[in-house]
Amino acid sequence: MLAPATTDAPSFDVAATASEAYRAALAVIESVEPRVADATRAELADQRSSLKLIASENYASPAVLLTMGTWLSDKYAEGTVGHRFYAGCQNIDTVESLAAEHARELFGAEYAYAQPHSGIDANLVAFWSILAHRVESPELAELGAKNVNDLTDEQWETLRHKFGNQRALGMSLDSGGHLTHGFRPNISGKMFAQRSYGTDPTTQLLDYDQVAAAAREFKPLILIAGYSAYPRRIDFAKMREIADEVGATLMVDMAHFAGLVAGKVFTGNEDPVPHAHIVTSTTHKSLRGPRGGLVLATEEYASSVDRGCPLVLGGPLGHVMAAKAVAFAEARTPAFRTYAQAVADNAQSLADSLKQRGAKLVTDGTDNHLVLIDVTGYGLTGRQAESALLDAGIVTNRNAVPNDPNGAWYTSGVRIGTPALTTRGFGADEFDTVADLIVTVLKGTTPVTASSGQPGKAKYTLTDGLAAATKAASAELLDANPLYPGLQL
């Protein structure tokens, strides 16, 4: 059992020490390629001076960021802890073990795999693990083979077809599902025959009866739950019941809300870990760690998940696994629980403030970390709204709404999340001002149509002076809640 991270304040000034470290690092980088040093400084300035409302982004701590800049990056360590294809992996074993142990304890999982480089990688590991466990292993046993290398070409061809013809059932893209849940532009859509479940046409809420009916008819091998743009919690116990009824494996992609699970905001039926066979995640969204992926699994899937590298992953990133260990240790502190609760409370405040100002929200609100504004009432597409907001210094991203008339490229929605600005210290009052700025910009944006006769590439115009006024109002909020306070380059 690992001790949780210390909750004592460090005995030195973290910001001053990190400032020294970054100044030294940038000087060394500058001596080789000054443009990289410049872009790195510019990114900090940009992040400090914009309202970052992209629901999947956050700001990792200096401890997490500094952990990534080391020689742990230089070691090859394909394989798993204690079973590597290279010699001399003892230190990578240490950091990978720490990341996995912290993740197991943080999420109460039987098994954790810290190697995936991204969310897509984590989902690929999960898919192949399920295929290996559910398809390959029984087939191999029947054929008296230990692994696929023992099969004849003909046997392998039969097994390969079985892999390719499996079925996955996941949330539709316009209801908030993710591309990696079986959609054609992603490899998962080529691996699986896919069908989607949507949301109730009136309430826009997940309709479990519809999920169950689709599962009974389609009989998927994998039932996928999880989302990247659905503003509500999911009852994973119900999803597991549905999976069990049709003999499917329940896989939950909790990339977006992992921080709310870690911070014990989502508990009981809203916590996927006790209910799913496999849970995948990224580590850099609400969980506030380094950019990367994670797989949690029950013991029965552990050995197949462990084959992730070299099955579908390249050599593990030792420096990033080390940073995951640091981030997971941070997420085990009471301070992180307070943060996670504030993320959800702030989303609620933001939704209420937007609605008071007449904005139409998908599902009429939120109970997680994001809201989705349907911008059609302002006469805008999601793309126009996203661009106009960006002109005013508000960083969001466009997103489809259920049954979107504008399709997946232009869309009719703008997705807004609270994890990043909550890290900066924003609370209900600040999010009320943010709501006011957003609605003022949306109301002050006029779409430019072909019939209006205005030439050029502009697809909208902003009321004169609105962008500057919005930036000035944002600057007040941002200055009062600085990013990395005390960090000076």
Nearest CA-CA partner of 17 in 73, 70, 66: 66
To the nearest whole angstrom, how small is the minimum distance from the Cβ of residue 56 to ligand DSN? Answer: 3
Of 228, 368, 384, 387, the residue at the interface with ligand DSN (CB under 6 A) is: 228
To the nearest whole angstrom, how small is the minimum distance from the Cβ of residue 228 to ligand DSN? Answer: 4
To the nearest whole angstrom, how small is the minimum distance from the Cβ of residue 362 to ligand DSN? Answer: 15
281 lines the binding site for ligand DSN (CB under 6 A): no
Q: Whose Cβ is closer to ligand DSN: residue 190's or residue 219's?
A: 190
Given the residues 199, 249, 282, 283, the one annotated as active site? 282
To the nearest whole angstrom, how small is the minimum distance from the Cβ of residue 119 to ligand DSN? Answer: 6
Q: Whose Cβ is closer to ligand DSN: residue 151's or residue 372's?
A: 372
Q: Whose Cβ is closer to ligand DSN: residue 228's or residue 418's?
A: 228
> What is the identity of the amino acid at 483?
L
Binding characters for ligand DSN, 169-188, by CB under 6 A (x = yes): ---------x----------
To the nearest whole angstrom, how small is the minimum distance from the Cβ of residue 3 to ligand DSN? Answer: 33
- What separation, in Å, do the N-terminal and C-terminal C-alpha atoms of the chain show? 39
Kindly report the number of other CB atoms within 10 A of residue 283's CB atom. Answer: 31
Q: Name beta bridge partners: 206.
A: 199
Q: Whose Cβ is closer to ligand DSN: residue 56's or residue 58's?
A: 56
Torsion sign over Cα 68, 71, 72, 77: positive
Whether 291 sits among the annotated catalytic residues: the reply is yes
Of 119, 198, 290, 413, the residue at the interface with ligand DSN (CB under 6 A) is: 119
Q: Whose Cβ is closer to ligand DSN: residue 56's or residue 194's?
A: 56
Contacts of 384 (CB under 8 A, 6+ apart): 375, 445, 447, 459, 460
To the nearest whole angstrom, how small is the minimum distance from the Cβ of residue 265 to ligand DSN? Answer: 19
To the nearest whole angstrom, how small is the minimum distance from the Cβ of residue 188 to ligand DSN? Answer: 12
Q: Whose Cβ is closer to ligand DSN: residue 194's or residue 397's?
A: 397
To the nearest whole angstrom, how small is the minimum distance from the Cβ of residue 97 to ligand DSN? Answer: 28
Whether 457 sits among the annotated catalytic residues: the reply is no
Contacts of 43 (CB under 8 A, 6+ apart): none
Q: Whose Cβ is closer to ligand DSN: residue 80's or residue 422's?
A: 422
Q: Report how far apart, in Å, the C-alpha atoms of 210 and of each of 199, 218, 447 are.
A: 8, 12, 37
Given the residues 52, 285, 324, 332, the one annotated as active site? 285
Whether 6 sits among the annotated catalytic residues: the reply is no
Residues 274 and 113: their CA atoms lie apart, in Å, by: 17
Using CB under 6 A, count the residues that bind ligand DSN: 4
Whether 78 sits among the annotated catalytic residues: the reply is yes
To the nearest whole angstrom, how small is the minimum distance from the Cβ of residue 206 to ligand DSN? Answer: 18
Residue nearest to ligand DSN (CB): 56
Q: Whose Cβ is closer to ligand DSN: residue 199's or residue 228's?
A: 228
Of 18, 51, 56, 382, the residue at the interface with ligand DSN (CB under 6 A) is: 56
Given the residues 162, 167, 291, 355, the one annotated as active site? 291
Q: Whose Cβ is closer to ligand DSN: residue 178's or residue 471's?
A: 178
Q: Name beta bridge partners: 170.
A: 196
Given the residues 57, 78, 93, 367, the one annotated as active site? 78
Residues designated as active site: 76, 78, 253, 282, 285, 291
- Applying CB under 6 A, the residues found at the interface with ligand DSN are 56, 119, 178, 228
